[in-house]
Structure 1
Amino acid sequence: MKLPSGSATTALAPANPWALVPPLGNLDAYISAANRLPLLTLEEEQAAARSLRQNNDLDAAGRLIMSHLRLVVSISRQYLGYGLPHGDLIQEGNVGLMKAVKRFDPDQGVRLVSYAMHWIKAEIHEYILKNWRMVKVATTKAQRKLFFNLRSMKQGFKADALDEDTHRSRLSEHEIGVIADQLKVKREEVMEMEVRMSGGDILLDPAPSDDGEQAFGPIAYLADAAHEPTAMIESHQRDMLATDGIATALTSLDDRSRRIVEQRWLNVNDDGSGGMTLHELAAEYGVSAERIRQIEVAAMKKMKKTLAEYA
C-alpha cells in the first residue's frame, strides 16, 4: 500500500498496519503511531468501502479506520480548550469515525475524509456537552451553536469592557447583536449562554477536608425546613386536627361537658386572658369546683380518644 504522492514517507505499508499502534495507554506514542499510518489512495479507499458494504469485510473497515486516525487526532486538538482529557476527545472522535465508515457510500463521489469530519465532530460535541459541566449547558440547537462558537467569536472582539465583579471581559450590546445576527439566534440566547459559560460548578455538599473538618457548602443554607415534605405533611395533619378534628371531638360530648371544655380551653377574652375558671363554672352549675374538674378530665379523655380515631 503506497502513500499518496508528496508524502515524506515513501516506505510501503506493513502487512498489518494495526501493529503500528501501541497496545498500552501512552497518548504521545498513540498520536505518533497514528500519524505514521499510511493513507489510502482514492482507488484503494473505494475498493475497501465497496468490500465493506457488499461483503461486510471487517478487514476493509479496519483499513479505512486506520488510515483516518490522524484526522481524528487533528480534529480533537481543536477542542482542547474545554479542559477535557485529550485522550477522551480522541476516543470519542474514533467512535464517530467508525460510525462514518459504517455509513460511507463510495458511489456518492466524495472522499471519506470529508464525510467523516461531520461524524467525528458530532461525537466530540456530544461528549463535551455531557462532560464539560455537571449541569448540561446546551440542549437546543441554538444553544449548541452558541456553545461552540461564542468563545472564539468573543476573542475576535476587543475586550474593552471589564466586568467589575468577575473581572471577565463582557460583551457589549453591539457585540451581542453581531453574534446574534451571524449565528441567527436571539440576543437573549447570546446573553444567557455567556452567563452559563462564565459560571462554574459548585458542590452542594463538599467532602470533609484533609484535616477532618467538615467543609461548608451551599447545602447548609439552601435547605428550607418549612417546605421539607415530611414537615409539610405533619403541619397539614396538625392543622386538620386543630380544626376538623377538634370539631369532631366536641360533637362526641354531652352539652355540659362540651361547654365546660369550650369555656376552659377554647374561649379567649378580649384582653387575651383565658376563659372561665373552675369556680365560675361551679357556681353556674351549682356543683363544687372539684366536680367541674372531674367532668373536664373525663371530657378531655373522651376527646383524646376521638382525635386518635380521626387521625
Structure 2
Amino acid sequence: MPASAPAAQASTAVAVANPWAVVPSLGNLDAYITAVNRLPLLTQEEEQQAARELRSSGSLEAAGRLVLSHLRLVVSVSRQYLGYGLPHGDLIQEGNVGLMKAVKRFDPDQGVRLVSYALHWIKAEIHEYILKNWRVVKLATTKAQRKLFFNLRSMKHELRAEDAQSDITPRDTLTQAQVLTVAEELKVKPEEVREMEARMAGGDVLLDPAPADDGDHAFGPISWLSDASHEPAAMIEAAQRDRLATEGIATALQSLDERSRRIVSERWLNVRDDGSGGMTLHELAAEYGVSAERIRQIEVAAMKKMRKALAEYA
C-alpha cells in the first residue's frame, strides 16, 4: 500500500465525521465543485434517519447532512443550463436554494429518495432565476411559454444534428416543417415557436450612447428615441401653463380687493433683496394693525377666490 494511503483514509474519515470541513469557506468555483464531489453520500437508511430527525426535532445538523450529501446533484443539474450565458456560480447558488426547500419539505415516509424529490425543486429555482435574469424583458410568462423556452434550444440542436446526418446544410432558423414538429411536440402554436425563436435570438442592446471618447458620431439607440417635449399635445399643455402663470395670475389678482392683492403679492410673488422670500404673517399684521391670524384668514379667502378665477380663465 502506498505511504499516502493512511493519510487519504484519515482525510476520508474526517470528511465523514465533519462534512463541513471539506467545503472551503473561500476559493474559486472549481475548488467548490471539487470539494462537494468529495462529500460522502448517504445510504438510504442514513437518509431516512436524518429526514425523520429533521421532521421530529428540526435538527439543523440533520438538515446539514441531507443538504451536503446532495450538493453534487445541484452542480450536475446546473451544468445543463450553462448555454444561457449566466454565471455557473449563480446557477449553483439558486439550485442550492431549491435543494434546501426540498429538504425542508421532504417526507421520508413517502418511500422516495431525496434525490428524486429534490430534482424538481432544484430545476424550479434555476428556471425562475434564468427567466428573471437572462433578458431584461420577460420572455416567458405562461406555463406553455416556459416549457417552450427551456426546450427550444435543445430541440433546435437535435434538429440541426439530424440535418447534418442527412447531408442537409444546417440553418440558423427553423424551417416550417421543423416549426410544426416543435409545436406539435410541445403542444403550442407554430407562431409561438417562431416568436420565441426570434426573441431568444435577439441580443441585448445598449440604449445609452457610446462613451464620449469614441468620437462625435458614436450614438446609442436612445439617441433616436422621440423627444416628448416637442410632441404637439405636450407643447400645447406647456403653452397653457405659461399663460396661466402670467396672464392667468394677473387676471386672478385683479379680482381681489387692494388689501388682499397686496397680502398675496407680498407673501408669494415678491422676493426680498436677500432672496429670503416674501413678508411673514407677523410683518403684515404689524403693518395693518391686526393679528397674524386675521392676515392668514384674508390670505386663505384670497387664494380661494383666485383659484376660482383661474378655473374660469382656463
What TM-score results when the alignment is normalised by the length of structure 2?
0.68
C-alpha separation between the residues in 1 aligned to 2:236 and 2:64?
62
8 Å contact kept, 2:210–2:220 = no
8 Å contact kept, 2:51–2:63 = yes
Is the aligned partner of 1:43 residue 2:45? yes
Is the aligned partner of 1:191 residue 2:194? yes
**After the TM superposition, which residues 158-237 of structure 1 pair with which residues of structure 2 at under 5 Å, given as runs?**
158=160, 169-210=172-213, 215-225=218-228, 226-227=230-231, 230-231=234-235, 233-234=237-238, 237=240
CA gap 1:213/1:108 in 2 versus in 1, 3 angstroms: farther
Partner of 2:300: none
Q: Compute the displacement of 1:103 (Å).
A: 0.4
Partner of 1:277: none
CA gap 1:232/1:138 in 2 versus in 1, 3 angstroms: farther
Specify every segment of 5 or more residues in structure 2 that has no aligned partner in the other structure, as ranges.
1-8, 249-308
Aligned-residue identity in percent: 72
CA gap 1:118/1:209 in 2 versus in 1, 3 angstroms: farther
Q: Compute the displacement of 1:141 (Å).
A: 1.0
CA gap 1:229/1:56 in 2 versus in 1, 3 angstroms: farther
Output one character per residue of 1:123-162: Cα deviation in whole Å (capped at 9) or x when no partner. Answer: 1111111111121211111111111110111112236578
Query: What CA RMSD, in Å, does the superposition of the two structures yield over aligned residues?
Result: 3.1
C-alpha separation between the residues in 1 aligned to 2:154 and 2:109?
37
8 Å contact kept, 1:161–1:170 = no
Specify every segment of 5 or more residues in structure 1 that has no aligned partner in the other structure, as ranges.
1-8, 163-167, 246-305
Q: Compute the displacement of 1:220 (Å).
A: 1.4
Which one of the candidate residues 137, 140, 154 is aligned to 1:152?
A: 154
Is the aligned partner of 1:136 residue 2:138? yes
State the SS of the aligned residue for 1:14.
Answer: helix
Output one character per residue of 1:14-61: Cα deviation in whole Å (capped at 9) or x when no partner. Answer: 321111000013111100000000000000001100110110000000
State the SS of the aligned residue for 1:39.
Answer: coil
Output one character per residue of 1:264-306: Cα deviation in whole Å (capped at 9) or x when no partner. Answer: xxxxxxxxxxxxxxxxxxxxxxxxxxxxxxxxxxxxxxxxxx9
Partner of 1:267: none
8 Å contact kept, 1:161–1:171 = no
More helix by share: 2
Amino acid in structure 1 at the alignment position of 2:157: Q
Amino acid in structure 1 at the alignment position of 2:115: V
Q: Compute the displacement of 1:231 (Å).
A: 3.0
Q: Compute the displacement of 1:230 (Å).
A: 4.2
Amino acid in structure 2 at the alignment position of 1:203: L
Which one of the candidate residues 70, 73, 96 is aligned to 1:71?
A: 73
Q: Which shifted more, 201-210 or 125-134? A: 201-210
Is the aligned partner of 1:32 residue 2:31? no
8 Å contact kept, 1:34–1:70 = yes
Q: Compute the displacement of 1:206 (Å).
A: 3.3
What TM-score results when the alignment is normalised by the length of structure 1?
0.68
